[in-house]
Structure 1
Amino acid sequence: MEQIRIGNTLVDYRLLHSSRQKTTELAIDLDSGFTVRAPVNMSKEEVSANLQKKANWIITNLDKMNEVIRNETKKEFVSGEKFLYKGKRYRLKVIKVNEEIVPSLFFTHSKFIVYLPANVPEDDYPRIIQPLFIDFYHLKAEKILLQRAKKYLVYFETQPSLIKVQPLKNKWGNCSKTNQLRFNWRVVMAKMSIIDYVVVHELCHTKYKDHSKAFWNEVQKILPDYEERKEWLRINGDLLKV
């Protein structure tokens, strides 16, 4: 994944070189995100220069895409809807079976599949399926957040006394006076760079219990671009819900 800074915004994009391309071609869609196709002999520097010339188009269309995603946040939990996981959107498929089964959710790395008894009416989908998604995100968050915390613990002398995932109102993470770290399960819906920001933020609180300049300097030592990640979460955090 490549990145380009447009004003104060850091934009991720996928760069594909092709011998068929004569000029750069830009595409922004809900599933693939921002894709740039460029001639095979065009350097990354030349690609970046071309993208800067089209900065207004890029920002305008990214804003349109985000607005569509915002309008999708009220879920009906029916086949075809898409749900975020690690920054990507995956389609839901609801399958009804005749036998009396316990409702269940599976993730196949390309889509979510929910199995329901045949007699469940569509009006009951949110009541039944939403808890399945919450359980899925919670379990994945426990695994992923622990893995990411272990990666960044090398920067710290003080180890957290606890790392736990739970619902947190209006917070992505929390560090107690005794260095117990608690993380909001919803963050696992974001891309990995945002998950890492939340993890590093709370780990830095094991050293500084406030948001002083020293605290932010500590965050910046580990994540030099933390301000962009922080801003992304401020703007898009309300999309991370189910």
Structure 2
Amino acid sequence: MKETTLLGEKINYTVRKSERATIPRVDVSIRGIRVVLPEGVEEDPENLLQKKAVQVVKSKKEFDDYKDKIPERRFEEGETFPLLGEDHELVVSSETEDNKIENGRMVLSAQNLKDSSIKEELENLYKKKAREIIEDILEDYQYLNVDYNKIKLKNQKTRWASCSSLKNLNFNWRIVMAPKEIIEYIVVHELVHLEEKGHSKKFWSKVASILPDYKERVKWLEEHSPKMVFSEEDY
């Protein structure tokens, strides 16, 4: 890890050589700042950072603000986790063989935890509920007559959903933390993508014809996404 000062602010960064890079660049993400240099190219990383100081500092602040909004959750009994937009208390019970959701609680079986962890079992419970909700929503939108192949739940870190060239619908299981109407928007977004690949005017027009209030749902997702971070491993 290296350190420099940009616009009066101390900045930590790393440097990486890349065979695929064609020009020197600075990547800023929630994980930090990285200077990427093409193999065989001599460039002073600090000079590059100084040239891009305004954008680098701005992007860093945006990611720092985002991280500040992420709840510090512990994977232990009594902690709360969001599900369908509502906080649920985490409970461990020796009276059930299966993990379940009931009465505003996420109940994990003590038996299951003998060979697993609270984090793993909670993630499994989220995935099970996510599939259930997504399948229900897809059932509601059968009238669109959009052809898709498989539904896959993935551990995506940079997107909520995607669709593949094989017409598979891929969903980040964390979307089940959001209210159902937000999940509905994400599902509809991908269904429309199966017919309209890019984010063209035609694409958004079609989304609007299905969900006239989609912009409000997008705004909710942008504002509340930090609360849908499951653990530090997500970023």
- Is TM (by shorter chain) over 0.5? yes
Aligned partner (choices 83, 93, 103) of residue 85 of structure 1 = 83
One-letter code of the match for 1:206? L
Q: 2:108 aligns with which of 103, 114, 121?
A: 114
Show the counterpart of 2:147.
159
Q: Percent identity?
A: 32
Q: CA deviation at 1:170?
A: 0.7
Q: 1:95 to 1:140 in 2, by over 3 A?
A: closer
Secondary structure in 1 matching 2:229: coil
- 1:17-36 pair list within 5 angstroms: none
Structure 2 segments unaligned to the other structure (5+ residues)? 1-65, 231-235
Could you give the per-residue CA deviations for residues 32-86 of structure 1, whole angstroms, max 9, x where no partner exists? xxxxxxxxxxxxxxxxxxxxxxxxxxxxxxxxxxx9x946x22222333211111
Q: Deviations over 1:166-215 (max 9, x none)?
A: 21221111012232211111101110110000000000001100000100
Of the structure 1 ranges 203-212 and 76-85, higher mean CA displacement relative to structure 2 is found in: 76-85
Structure 1 unmatched ranges of 5 or more: 1-66, 121-126
Of residues 124, 129, 133, the one that matches 1:144 is: 133
Q: 2:22 aligns to what?
A: none
Secondary structure of 1:238's aligned partner: helix
1:223 to 211, 217, 223: 211
SS at match of 1:143: helix
1: distance between equivalents of 2:150 and 2:178? 23
* 1:213 equivalent in structure 2: 201
Residue matched to 2:175: 187
CA contact (8 A) 1:167 1:184 kept: yes
Aligned equivalents of 1:179, 1:91: Cα separation in 2? 37
2: CA distance between counterparts of 1:211 and 1:107?
37
When the two structures are aligned, how many residues end up with a matched partner? 162
Indicate yes or no: 2:161 matched with 1:173.
yes
The answer to whether the 8 A contact 1:148-1:199 is kept is yes
Note the 1:56-71 alignment, pairs <5 A. 70=69
Once the 2 structures are TM-superposed, how far is the Cα of residue 150 of structure 1 from its aligned partner? Answer: 1.9
1:203 aligns with 2:191: yes
Q: Is the 8 A contact 1:138 1:166 kept in 2?
A: no
Q: 1:114 to 1:158 in 2, by over 3 A?
A: closer
TM-score for both structures, normalised by structure 1: 0.60
Q: Secondary structure at the match of 1:145?
A: helix
Distance 1:198 1:80, change over 3 A: same
- Deviation of 1:115 after TM superposition, in Å, equals 4.3
Matching residue's letter, 1:202: E
Deviation at 1:219, TM superposition (A): 0.3
CA distance in 2, matches of 1:154, 1:93: 40
